[in-house]
């Protein structure tokens, strides 16, 4: 069976800090008032995405990889990652501040958790007035100073705050301390990993009245203590063309703001391609079929596709590949 443009059933996650924007803004089928994440495309064990459109409906992403590995993923991707999907695609709604956290690099994650590390990027889709992110430190910090701030409950005094608006994009490399702030709706692209070191959670309690677990000791040797201004992505936004946003060893992301149809030659791209719609709507066609996409939806195009045709009168898309 040919690999037409594939859509997947969202995996919805309730979170202490979640809200209703995934339902109200993106139209996700949600009853809860604290849904914080919609996992759009996941190969994480226990949370494997399932196809929702066409003849392959009901087939899991893992089944597709096992049966059609190189066709779906690309030969070079299989050589690097085997039959494991190497990135995780999400939409996140933060009604409250997320915990201040960081992610270990590949070496630490492999050694401690037998997992990939977690490099990620964020594209801001919607932000309440004054909404902020925490990204990195606001000065050079010594390890001892950090530890003292954790013990004293003054970590926020060392944090760098960034006010955000729609279209702002951030690259979060491993070791960088960070948090999504209240009032932010964003698209997240990350390595396939669910390893997070939570270091401060504003003393919040869960619905059972318990403080959430912190990972204070694990985090100490995983943090990048340098003050770096390397997180804000300044990318071109030329309409009706492909604009490079991020090109790192784990994923490549382009920004497409289209006012008319666009043809993409994929014959030399030895990787799957993902389209996340962050505005408007479009019809996406490859060698074997067509699927419609609108704001808040995601489509997977197989590596075996030789082209993709995007038909639209107005859409903003994030194009992701390896």
213 sits in which H/E element: none
State how far Cα 47 lies from the chain centre.
Answer: 15
Residues 6 or more apart whose CB falls under 8 angstroms from that of 57 comprise 51
Residue 27 has a CB neighbour count (10 Å cut-off) of 12
The dihedral region occupied by 236, where left means phi > 0, alpha psi between -120 and 50, and beta the remainder, is beta
Give the Cα separation of 43 and 49 in Å (integer).
Answer: 7
CA angle (94 as vertex; 278, 160 as ends), nearest 5: 100
Q: Based on DSSP, count helices (H) and strands (E) in the chain, helices before strands.
A: 6, 20
Contact 254, 308 (CB under 8 A): no
258 by DSSP, 3-state: which? Answer: strand
Contact 9, 49 (CB under 8 A): yes
* Set 198, 204, 212, 269: catalytic member: 198
Contact 197, 102 (CB under 8 A): yes
236 by DSSP, 3-state: which? Answer: coil
The torsion angles phi and psi of 144, rounded to 5 degrees, stand at -65, -35
Give the Cα separation of 73 and 271 in Å (integer).
Answer: 6
184 by DSSP, 3-state: which? Answer: strand
Tell me whether residue 269 is one of the annotated catalytic residues: no
Could you list the active site residues? Answer: 198
């Amino acid at each position: 069976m040919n690999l037409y443009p594939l859509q997947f059933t969202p995996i919805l996650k309730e979170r202490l800090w979640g809200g209703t924007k995934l339902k109200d803004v993106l139209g996700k089928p949600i009853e809860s008032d604290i849904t914080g994440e919609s996992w759009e495309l996941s190969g994480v064990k226990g949370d494997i995405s399932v196809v929702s459109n066409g003849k392959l409906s009901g087939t899991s992403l893992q089944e597709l990889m096992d049966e059609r590995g190189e066709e779906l993923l690309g030969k070079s991707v299989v050589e690097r990652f085997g039959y494991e999907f190497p990135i995780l695609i999400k939409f996140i709604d933060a009604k409250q501040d997320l915990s201040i956290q960081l992610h270990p690099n590949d070496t630490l994650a492999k050694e401690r958790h037998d997992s990939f590390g977690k490099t990620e990027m964020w594209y801001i889709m919607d932000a309440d007035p004054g909404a902020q992110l925490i990204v990195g430190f606001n000065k050079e910090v010594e390890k001892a100073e950090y530890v003292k701030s954790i013990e004293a409950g003054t970590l926020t005094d060392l944090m760098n705050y960034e006010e955000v608006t729609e279209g702002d994009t951030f690259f979060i490399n491993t070791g960088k301390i960070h948090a999504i702030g209240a009032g932010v709706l964003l698209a997240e692209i990350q390595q396939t990993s669910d390893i997070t070191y939570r270091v401060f959670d504003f003393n919040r309690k869960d619905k059972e009245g318990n403080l959430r677990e912190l990972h204070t000791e694990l985090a100490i040797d995983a943090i990048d203590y340098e003050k770096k201004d390397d997180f804000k992505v300044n990318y071109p936004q030329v309409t009706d063309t492909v604009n490079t946003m991020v090109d790192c060893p784990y994923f490549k992301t382009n920004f497409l703001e289209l006012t008319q149809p666009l043809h993409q030659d994929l014959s030399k791209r030895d990787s799957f391609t993902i389209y996340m719609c962050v505005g408007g709507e479009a019809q996406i066609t490859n060698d074997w079929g067509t699927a419609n996409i609108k704001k808040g939806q995601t489509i997977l195009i197989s590596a075996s596709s030789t082209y993709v045709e995007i038909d639209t009168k107005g859409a903003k898309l994030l194009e992701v590949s390896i």
